[in-house]
A and B are shown apart, each in its own frame.
Chain A
Amino acid sequence: MIRDLPRRVLTALGLPAVLVAVWWVSSAHSTSFFWPPLSTIVRAFPQTWTADPLLHDVLPSLARLTAGYLAALAAGVTAGLAIGSSRTVRALCEPALEFFRAIPPPVLIPVIALFTGYTAWTAKVVTIALGCLWPILLNTVEGVRSMDEVLRDTARSYRLGRAATLTMVLRGASPRIVTGARQALSIGVILMVISELFGANRGLGAAIVQFQRGFAIPQMWTGIILLGLLGVTLSVLFRLVEHRTMAWYRGVRQAERGA
């Protein structure tokens, strides 16, 4: 595993390096205002993202993302366990869930603002949470539903306590919960940006739009790159957490494969 590391790092960085090189070369002599040379963008980066915007744009955005995401995770898993455990509740909820899932949160932003205020953090956190909720919730329901019936019956006949049963269900559903959580993370990043297009004066998304409006094109590109880098960082963090919490599942899978 350890010996593999340099190779894995090289593989991971290979395509990005090629893409950056292609971008660099193909834009080197660009005279197009909206497609400046990558060298110009790179030079603008440290000047644009100094301590002040990092502190007042990027950090608040990330804080709102974290708050919304964790709220969605808590609500989604709790509701998902409840809905998934009972056939009746599931049948009752399914049409409504599908209805709400089909509504894209961006169209709700003005409506959410009407109830929670136009300029406060609440509207943005609620927007992010609402968007992240559905993949987590629906995957949790699926995860609980697809659990082995025999396992449930066994737990029942051994008269396992509530806590033990809950742990068992959570564990059984966790691969699907993780899948939902991963989908929700990318939706959360998108909504973090979109929520700031409306009624915000600071934030990463708001900053990118301001650059675009002010025709500060290299700066706008640096914002987009920063956003992408944040996305990569978040997904790496997610994998680390997944790696630790789901170690048992990897073990099961490997055993099943006979490795």
Chain B
Amino acid sequence: MPRHPTVRLSALVAVVAVLVSACGSESDDAGSTASTGPTAVTVGVIPIVDVAPIYLGIKQGFFSAEGLNVSLQTAQGGAAIVPAVMSGQYQFGFSNATSLLLADSKGLPLKVVSSGVASTGEPGKDFGAVIVKADSPIKSAADLAGKRVAVNTLKNINTTTVNEVVRQAGGDPATISYVELPFPDIVSAVAKGDVDAGQVVEPFLTIATGQGDRQVVSNYAGTDPNLTIGMYFTSKEYAAKNPKVVAGFTAAMNKSMEYATAHPDEARAILSTYTKIDATVQQNLVLPKWPTTVDRDSVQLLTDLGTKDGLFSKQPDLDGLLP
């Protein structure tokens, strides 16, 4: 009998230890300024066309010229990348603008370090659009009202921009019922008639139109011809502690995006190193724009649209977030 209290106590201690260690220290700035040699940084990206420049830039040596040894980690989406950047697991990350605004509005201290990807500004020739079956009665954005529309993420950039183009066309976006599906499944859900329409980006847009689907509206270009869609970011803490690394990353990123813009064929070619894209699709897909500056007005517009759709409980602080 005298043994029992000890056993109980040690079990309790073990439980406490596990819990405390689980919620303890949140960041140890891995990869911050070392003494000599290149600085190792990890960047969280999504394996889509948008991030082709960073792959090209690494290959062209733009990052090593800035003293950075970049390794890329692919993740499902911005929601997974943001926590990893916050915890110091990644030093930089790529995410869409609305996710960053959402994070900012919830009080996550993030800092955009470079532009990422933008709309081509040409309706019908943008890298994202709403598709329907060829024989669908939906002919214009206004017809989307009251329909079932698939998006890859609910309550995010794709719903706010589709809502906006429907609103502009005179439809009531509140009547749209959105369904969340991964991009590849959106194409087959539209084909099966499970949903009336779907918002997709490249390469799925080219795949869908190749199967006979029709574009109804370019939701990015229709929202704003200069719409900033994705950006690279870091945590405010990392930015404050490592200004040199951040400056080097921004410079290399800008060079990469300029290079990708000037060499679209190389940008297409590099896609097959990190995605499984069919060769003809790779040749035919619409490349996005890779501007080196963030179009502040368009980010403000995304903020206003998100506010209209009730995404933000608190207004995002653009001055603190944008470079």
Chain B residues, Cβ within 8 Å of A27: 23
In the assembled complex, A19 has its CB within 8 A of some CB on chain B = yes
Chain B residues, Cβ within 8 Å of A198: 180-182, 185
Which of B86, B87, B194 counts the most chain A CB atoms within 10 A? B194
- Chain B 167-197 interface mask (CB, 8 Å, partner A; 1/0): 0000000000111111001001100101100
**Contacts beyond the supplied A199-B189, A201-B177: 18 A-B pairs with Cβ under 8 Å:** A18-B12, A19-B19, A23-B19, A33-B106, A34-B26, A34-B83, A34-B87, A114-B188, A117-B194, A118-B189, A120-B194, A198-B181, A198-B182, A199-B185, A214-B311, A215-B82, A215-B103, A215-B108
Kindly state the separation between the CA atoms of A18 and B181 in the bound complex, as whole angstroms. 41
Do residues B15 and A117 form an inter-chain contact, with CB atoms below 8 A? Answer: no
In the assembled complex, A212 has its CB within 8 A of some CB on chain B = yes
Are A118 and B194 also in contact (CB < 8 A) when A26-B23, A200-B180, A214-B102 are? Answer: yes
- Which residues of A196-219 have CB atoms within 8 Å of chain B's CB atoms? 198-201, 206, 210, 212-217
Chain B residues, Cβ within 8 Å of A200: 179-180
Kindly state the separation between the CA atoms of A23 and B20 in the bound complex, as whole angstroms. 8
In the assembled complex, A110 has its CB within 8 A of some CB on chain B = yes
- Within 8 Å by CB of B155, from A18, A22, A210, lies A210
21 A-B Cβ contacts within 8 A?
A30-B23, A32-B26, A34-B26, A110-B185, A117-B194, A119-B148, A119-B189, A198-B180, A198-B182, A198-B185, A199-B179, A199-B181, A199-B185, A199-B189, A201-B177, A206-B180, A213-B153, A213-B155, A214-B311, A215-B106, A217-B106
Do residues A113 and B185 form an inter-chain contact, with CB atoms below 8 A? Answer: yes
Kindly state the separation between the CA atoms of A120 and B107 in the bound complex, as whole angstroms. 36
- Which residues of A6-41 have CB atoms within 8 Å of chain B's CB atoms? 18-19, 22-23, 26-27, 30, 32-35
Do residues A119 and B79 form an inter-chain contact, with CB atoms below 8 A? Answer: no
- Within 8 Å by CB of A216, from B23, B106, B156, B178, lies B106
Size class of the A contact interface (CB-based, 8 Å): 20 to 34
Kindly state the separation between the CA atoms of A171 and B16 in the bound complex, as whole angstroms. 45
- Within 8 Å by CB of B23, from A18, A32, A119, lies A32
Are A212 and B189 also in contact (CB < 8 A) when A30-B23, A119-B179 are? Answer: no
- Which residues of A202-259 have CB atoms within 8 Å of chain B's CB atoms? 206, 210, 212-217
Which B residue's beta carbon lies closest to that of A197?
B180
Chain A residues, Cβ within 8 Å of B48: none
